[in-house]
């Protein structure tokens, strides 16, 4: 066997190591007795090997952690009692633009309302003298102080009733959106009936004129 191979084999098999100076002297004197095989050598295996810092008591059992399932929050959606759905297969850009009022159209509506109010004042509040291209309907709260006060009072009563019901639910630690909706509907029901009645009267007058 080659001397270097014998030295390498000796280093791999022994647990002890030799100083570098001792190895150099042995090589120069051709003395390879230190590389003789040792019969009492014990074979090491990976299964029996254990670091000195690790003992039987240091072993820890791996703990299996089961993740806690996440319960999704309960969501509620309130729908109207009646739904009218209109489906269109294809809608182009022009139709989408025509579905909403443009800024210039809204400005035109406001200007028409101003012109109607000016015409009403020029007629000294006489509906019969108002030109046919003008209609005062929907502008009563602007031209009549009594109508303005009545509208303001009705809105205030409705808002006050809803706020009172909300505070009552907070004090009792309850939540009932349907009751809030009912309270608001009761206070606006009279206005809705008045609007239907006035629309029917206007329709009769319009039909008689034309």
Whole-number average pLDDT of the chain:
72
**Which has the closest alpha carbon to 163: 183, 141, 140, 193?**
183
- Predicted pLDDT of residue 92: 79
- pTM attached to this predicted model: 0.43
Q: Are residues 157 and 182 located together in one domain of the fold?
A: yes
Q: Are residues 150 and 209 located together in one domain of the fold?
A: yes
Asked whether residue 194 is assigned to any structural domain, the reply reads yes
Pick the last residue of a domain from 143, 174, 195: 143
Q: Are residues 24 and 12 located together in one domain of the fold?
A: yes
Helix axes 177-209, 145-171, angle to 10 degrees: 160
Q: Give residue-wise pLDDT tens across range 89-136.
A: 777 788 777 888 888 999 999 999 999 999 988 888 887 888 888 888
Vertex 208, ends 203 and 210: CA angle to 5°? 95
Q: Are residues 210 and 148 located together in one domain of the fold?
A: yes
What integer is the mean pLDDT of 37-62? 50
Give the integer Cα–Cα distance in Å for 11 and 20.
12
- Host domain of residue 26: 1-38
Q: Are residues 132 and 153 located together in one domain of the fold?
A: no
Query: How many independent structural domains does the chain possess?
Result: 3
Q: Are residues 112 and 135 located together in one domain of the fold?
A: yes
Q: Are residues 161 and 129 located together in one domain of the fold?
A: no
Q: Are residues 137 and 199 located together in one domain of the fold?
A: no
């Amino acid at each position: 066997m080659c001397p270097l191979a014998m030295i390498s084999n000796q280093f791999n098999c022994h647990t002890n190591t030799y100083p570098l100076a001792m190895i150099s002297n042995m090589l120069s004197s051709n003395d390879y007795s230190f590389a003789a095989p040792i019969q009492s050598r014990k074979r090491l295996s990976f299964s029996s090997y254990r670091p000195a810092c690790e003992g039987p008591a240091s072993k820890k059992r791996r703990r299996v952690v089961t993740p806690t399932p996440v319960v999704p929050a309960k969501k509620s959606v309130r729908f109207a009692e009646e739904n009218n759905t209109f489906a269109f297969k294809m809608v182009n850009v022009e139709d989408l633009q025509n579905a909403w009022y443009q800024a210039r159209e809204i400005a035109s509506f406001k200007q028409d309302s101003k012109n109607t109010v000016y015409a009403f004042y020029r007629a000294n509040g006489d509906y019969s003298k108002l030109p046919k291209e003008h209609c005062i309907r929907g502008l009563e709260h602007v031209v009549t102080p009594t109508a303005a006060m009545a509208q303001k009072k009705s809105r205030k009563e409705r808002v006050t009733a809803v706020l009172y019901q909300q505070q009552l639910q907070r004090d009792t630690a309850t939540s009932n959106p349907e009751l809030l909706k009912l309270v608001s509907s009761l206070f606006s029901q009279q206005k809705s009936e008045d609007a239907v009645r006035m629309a029917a009267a206007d329709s009769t007058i319009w039909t008689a004129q034309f």
